[in-house]
Amino acid sequence: MEDHAGSWYEDVWRFLIGQEYPRLFNREEKLVFLKKVGPFEIRGSTLYRLGIDEVYRRCLEREEFPKVLKALHSKMGGGHFGIQTTAKKILAAGYWWPTVFRDVAAYVKACDPCQRTGRPTASTRWPLMPIVPLAPFKKWGIDFVGPIALATQWHQHYILVAIDYFTWCLVGKCAMW
């Protein structure tokens, strides 16, 4: 049996392994604890919690919280979204801990780029302007797609995509950047 001493889920783990209640619990506290333990399950050596959406999510240790928060808010998988969206991304990624929403709120409120940018307001939004194509091949939209995990034999990890707004002619070209 692994040692989960000091973990936020130490009591849950002990109960699931050996039906051992935390010390000094009276009868009422044991009933409350039993309800609390209900959605948890041990698979292999990992604790999972069943959510209200019937999806099992891996319970993280305290040391893992910051890594997941950073990855799903600030890094490639992030996008500096708000509190609710970041929390939902964490849950969708299959992770859970008891204070996920509180920790996400604290992280987003302490995120320097988010605080500098803030929410879009009426004064900071630009009006949408339609792109009016006048003739074929006169107005193009260009974008990069990537990095792509499966590179070509020439180690090209990106695709340069161009589209003509009049004919909707689409051109794609592999690139090495």
**DSSP string across 77-122:** T-----HHHHHHHHHHTTEE-TTHHHHHHHHHHH-HHHHHH-S--T
Angle in degrees, CA 12, 57, 47, rounded to 5: 30
- pLDDT (mean) for 2-29: 78
CA distance 50 to 176: 43
One-letter identity of residue 144: F
Indicate the helix (H) or strand (E) that contains 36. helix 27-37
Q: Between the ranges 80-84, 100-104, 119-123, where is the mean pLDDT highest?
A: 100-104
Which H/E stretch holds residue 67?
Answer: helix 65-73
pLDDT in tens, 16-70: 888 888 788 888 988 888 888 889 888 988 889 998 899 999 999 888 889 999 9
Q: In what order do the strands lie in the sheet with 46-50?
A: 40-43, 46-50, 56-59, 95-96
Confidence of residue 132 (pLDDT cuts 50, 70, 90): confident
Q: What are phi and psi of 19, to 5 degrees?
A: 55, 40
C-alpha distances in Å from residue 149, one per residue of 123, 146, 155, 171, 175: 39, 8, 10, 21, 13
Helix (H, G, I), strand (E, B) or coil at 95: strand
Residue reference for tokens 């006048």: 134
Which residue has better confidence, 4 or 49?
49
For tokens 């964490």, the residue is 90
Residue where the block lists tokens 């999806």: 55
Neighbours of 6 (CB within 10 A): 8
Provide the residue ranges of all domains of the chain, joining segments of one domain with +. 1-56, 60-119, 140-175
